[in-house]
Chains A and B, each alone.
Chain A
């Protein structure tokens, strides 16, 4: 059982064992649901209903501009979506962003976390500076990077030109091609979310028993061996949570590419495809099918991670 119930379990341990519930236990259960119920019901009403409704709508050929032609087509929307090259392109784009940002965020985030963990004195300042990008609205950060990389306007091209002693083109158009656009999108995404990663990893580092590290040091382990054999396995829980949260966030990426490219040069992500199909082209049935596919992808990723790391998410997370 989770620590949640352990904490509360002490309230009525005797009553729990008895088959017949005492009045006190009954009253407690009632109060529990009175207090927790409203939040639970609202969560379900606003999300579960739309989910079921989306699944239902995804079986229809339904355009908002032509409601009379609404027709039950069962899995046809899914067949269309999965056989459409455009769909697979958005999948490719999305997973490219996920993999690239995750790798860089893990390495940089771990570096920052290690530095913050080791250095005691300017910790507060460091933490504040690290936290600032996290608090910036994604749309604002997207604009900052968009303008920074715009030729004749931003500073990235001239700076690169100066730093490489004139090797790069001072008016290189980053948003002219698919991969360079994705590069800027990834860079801004990494800038924006690495702080979150390093905070989670820092919390994980704090859980590692320092005496074990000392013992390994005495036994003559190198820094890398200590890191790999002692620190990493002991912060597995935090590592898993950080990777899982970031992966699922990145799969749902929407604001950043929407602002920067609007989907030009084949940089549309899955979320953007759902949004444009539904709102711009008002194809509700198709949009719902795409939304359900995205939801299933998220579920599969979550299931794989939980299975892979063997971490019970409802427990303390410290496996």
Chain B
């Protein structure tokens, strides 16, 4: 537990330290160095209203837009695909699953080279769609595997029973299957969103400023002026992007665990 929480507390503590703490060399070797003596909120105002505003806020927007778009598109496509795999009998099913698995093993950095070149030619470099498309491929294989595992657990006899009782196919789907499938789709969406939110390889190599996401912006953040060490501001930004994700994890932890393990172990 301590192992888990110390680095997190540390980044939060650092975000509350004033710049003067960083410039003065540490005199104390006590545990007191960990927590700031005086709580200083200035780092948060720097990233929201101060000098780093133009870097951090657009990056946050890009992250949200790109990740939501990629998640929605890939989960919708994966839902169709996984439904077909779990429910219908057609040739090539195994090929699709194997391809998805192989692609999830593919090193993302190996795709950066050709995409970098291609994106420059078709003017997708440093644009929002230029990032959404790679993110879809990043999240699609994962989503297909997790959803296929979920859909297999749905008792489909219930749908047939509803049809026998006089419901139309659409009614049977809407009243019986959709409520059963919704939690799985939702879980997959959260996991896919995390994957995209976390990405650094594509964002740092396929963008420069117009569509940079938070992880890349953080990594290349060098402070408002060259005389300033942006340590505190980086930590503040790190805390801001971490909080929503941690809240999601806390709320949906049971489902996330189920999704991860069913997708991975069955895969």
Contacts and interface: CB of A to CB of B under 8 A. Distances in A.
A148 B83 CA distance: 47
A190 to B, nearest CB: 10
A296 to B, nearest CB: 10
A16 interface: yes
B72 interface: no
Contacts of A259: 219
Interface string B98-125: 1111010111111111111110100000
B108 A252 contact: yes
A316 B111 CA distance: 29
A32 B83 CA distance: 9
Contact of A127 (B10, B205, B253, B265): B253
In this complex, the member of B1, B219, B265 whose beta carbon has the largest number of chain A beta carbons within 10 angstroms is B265
B33 interface: yes
Nearest to B98: A314
A267 to B, nearest CB: 15
Nearest to B194: A135
Mostly, the A contact residues are helix
Interface in A1-16: 2-5, 7-9, 11-12, 16
Interface string B62-94: 000000000000000110110111111111111
A139 B219 contact: yes
Nearest to A128: B253
Interface string A85-120: 000000000000000000000000000000000000
In this complex, the member of A33, A34, A50, A153 whose beta carbon has the largest number of chain B beta carbons within 10 angstroms is A50
Contacts of A46: 133-134, 136-137
A3 B136 CA distance: 27
Contacts of B201: 254-255, 271, 275
Interface in A244-281: 245, 248, 251-252, 254-255, 258-259, 271, 274-275, 278-279
B113 A278 contact: yes
A39 B77 contact: yes
A3 B77 CA distance: 22
Interface stretch (B40-48, B49-57, B175-183, B244-252): B244-252
Mostly, the B contact residues are helix
Contact of B264 (A47, A51, A131, A245): A245
B231 interface: yes
Size category, A interface? 35 or more
A153 to B, nearest CB: 6
Contacts of A16: 89
B86 A4 contact: yes
Interface string B204-220: 11000000001110110
In this complex, the member of B89, B136, B152 whose beta carbon has the largest number of chain A beta carbons within 10 angstroms is B89
B34 interface: yes
Contact of A5 (B94, B194, B257): B94
A147 B235 contact: yes
Contact of B110 (A29, A241, A274): A274
Contacts of B253: 124, 127-128, 131
Contact of B249 (A25, A31, A135, A145): A135
B49 to A, nearest CB: 22
A89 B33 CA distance: 37
B200 to A, nearest CB: 4
B198 A138 contact: yes
Given A39-B144, A143-B234, A147-B11, 17 more contacts: A7-B87, A28-B89, A29-B91, A31-B88, A32-B90, A46-B137, A51-B114, A132-B4, A133-B4, A137-B214, A140-B238, A140-B241, A202-B261, A271-B107, A274-B109, A274-B110, A298-B107
